[in-house]
Chains A and B, each alone.
Chain A
Amino acid sequence: MDQALETVWVRDRSRILATLIGVLRDFDLAEDALQDAVASATVTWAAHGVPVNPAGWLVTTARRKAIDRLRSTSASERRQRAWGELAIAWDIGDGIEPIPDDRLRLIFTCCHSALTLDAQVALTLRTLGGLSTEDVAKAFLISGPALAQRIVRAKRKIREAGIAYRVPSPDELPDRLGAVMAVITLIFNAGYLAPRGTALVNVDLCDEAMRLVTVVIDLLPEQKEIADMGGTMRLGADPVKLHDATRARELYGEQVIYERHRHRYEVNNHLRKRLEGAGLIFSGTSPDERLVEVIELSRDEHPFFVASQYHPEFKSRPERPAPLFREFVGAALAQAEPEDRSSGDDVTVSRAGAS
């Protein structure tokens, strides 16, 4: 049950939230109502099983919860919400229908130029992304409360200044799309030039940027330029086929790996036969074997000679090092070992002597 909730949360959270904001016209009410619905789900799903359409169930339940919340607010506050609870109750559905994808409207609202760029980034990551406020704050080198404050201010401006929840009309689209792309680029760059964090490249932010570009491409299919932009951001996760009985295959332990690419040049295929004849082993290639991705020399030639076209550092973390690095360090340690061991023994001996 928790597993099902976790799955729908990771996969559909931003879609559900976008739908709710569309109905409720209020970011805070939507987020609160969704929290209520999730709380209900932990109880109801455990008792009655996971619904056929978990995302639809959450939307329907959140709408009911929103009505409850509105009923409990003061009369004057309720009057201010011009749409009122009737509009929310309208066609509330049974939670079986698939929910519409409102994320495009949401992204245009979050990336409205009437908000500061900082606020646009914060709000976009918070509502459409899957990162915690803490992660977002860390990536942009500000404190959690400062980020929360930024988001609160942005939401208030959206509400008070009447920033519409809609996809811009064709004549406004070029400008507005430019603003969206600026935000996504900033998120991507913050990940790529990660100011701090455990990875050289903050893959999470890069992935978030990629996901956002994908949302725009998928939901606004006529935007060819953006498809190209997605291309330049696509750091990789391209498949590499590792050939049997090679060092690369052995140290990754898998036949197909996914790594990030950033290169312009390739091994000249005309020379492959000659290079192979001279002892170079092409141990990794693209799945169709047309592009060389990994080369190596046999152990007889060199204790550890493995080189890749892709950038293993992009996916490497201290706690999850890239196999190439891990094994290289291992090989280096093995080379140095005899000497190390003797000095280690010295330490033990001297300690023993002292005690």
Chain B
Amino acid sequence: MRYMLIIHNDPALHPQPGGPEWDQLMADYAAFSEQLGNYTGAPLNDPSTATTVRIRNDETLIVDGPFEETKEWMSGYYVIDCDSLDQAIKAATMVPSAKFGSVEVRPVAEM
């Protein structure tokens, strides 16, 4: 089964670029990604860079900003293949940001 690990962070609690904590975090992510081996995923830029698109009555509405303003925002994701939820949860505990934010584990709905 495939699972998406959705990483949510509160920037106030999360290391910011520039300090040694950030360097450590990047090293941890590199190590984690290498350990996962076969995955798809990416880090995301912050919500101030987001644009939201909707189509209503055949009209395209483009709005600056994220779909939802919250303190925590989605900062990245992984899609991994696992035997069971337990394995996916184990992988989620190894996501470096789990220490600062949260990781949502969602099964991919196979169509």
**A residues bordering B, Cβ < 8 Å?**
112, 114, 160-164, 166, 168, 172
In the assembled complex, how far is the CB of residue B69 from the closest CB belonging to chain A, in whole angstroms? 28
Q: A161-B107, A162-B1, A162-B107 are in contact. Are A168 and B86 (CB under 8 A)?
A: yes
Q: Which residue of A114, A160, A166 is within 8 Å of B89 (Cβ)?
A: A114
Q: Other CB < 8 Å A-B pairs besides A161-B107, A162-B83, 17 of them?
A: A112-B85, A114-B85, A114-B89, A160-B107, A161-B105, A162-B1, A162-B3, A162-B84, A162-B85, A162-B88, A162-B107, A163-B84, A163-B85, A164-B83, A164-B84, A164-B85, A172-B86
Residues B86 and A164 in contact, CB atoms below 8 Å apart = yes
Total interface residues on B, CB under 8 Å, equals 12
Number of A-B contacts (CB under 8 A): 26
Show the binding face of B for A, using Cβ within 8 Å: 1, 3, 82-86, 88-89, 105, 107, 109
In the bound assembly, the distance between CA atoms of A189 and B3 in angstroms comes to 37
Distance in angstroms between the alpha carbons of A160 and B109 in the assembled complex? 8
Residues of B near A114 (CB, < 8 A) are: 85, 89
Shortest distance between the CB of A157 and any CB in chain B (Å): 9
On chain A, the residues within 8 Å of B107 by CB distance are 160-162
In Å, the complex CA distance between A160 and B107 comes to 7
State whether A162 touches B82 (Cβ < 8 A).
Answer: yes
Assembled-state Cα–Cα distance A328/B84 (Å):
60
Q: How far is the CB of A341 from chain B (nearest CB, A)?
A: 71
User: How many Å lie between the Cα of A112 and that of B86 in the bound state?
Assistant: 9
Chain A residues with CB below 8 A from B88, complex form: 162
CB distance from B15 to the nearest CB of A (A): 27
- By a CB distance below 8 angstroms, the chain A residues around B3 are 162
Q: Which residues of A contact B84 (CB under 8 A)?
A: 162-164, 166
- In the assembled complex, the Cα of A164 lies from the Cα of B89 at a distance in Å of 12
Bound complex: CA of A164 vs CA of B83, how far in Å?
Answer: 8
8 residue pairs, one from A and one from B, having the closest CB atoms: A164-B84, A162-B1, A162-B85, A163-B85, A161-B85, A162-B84, A161-B107, A164-B86
| CA gap between A163 and B107 in the complex, in Å | 10
Q: Which residues of B sit under 8 angstroms from A112, Cβ to Cβ? A: 85
By CB atoms of chain A within 10 A, which of B3, B85, B109 has the most? B85
Q: Could you say which of A112, A114, A160, A162 has the most chain B C-beta atoms within 10 Å of its C-beta?
A: A162
Q: How far is the CB of B85 from chain A (nearest CB, A)?
A: 5
* Residues of A contacting B86 in the complex (Cβ-Cβ under 8 angstroms): 163-164, 168, 172
10 A-B pairs whose Cβ atoms sit less than 8 Å apart in the complex:
A160-B107, A161-B107, A162-B82, A162-B84, A162-B85, A162-B107, A164-B83, A164-B84, A164-B86, A166-B84
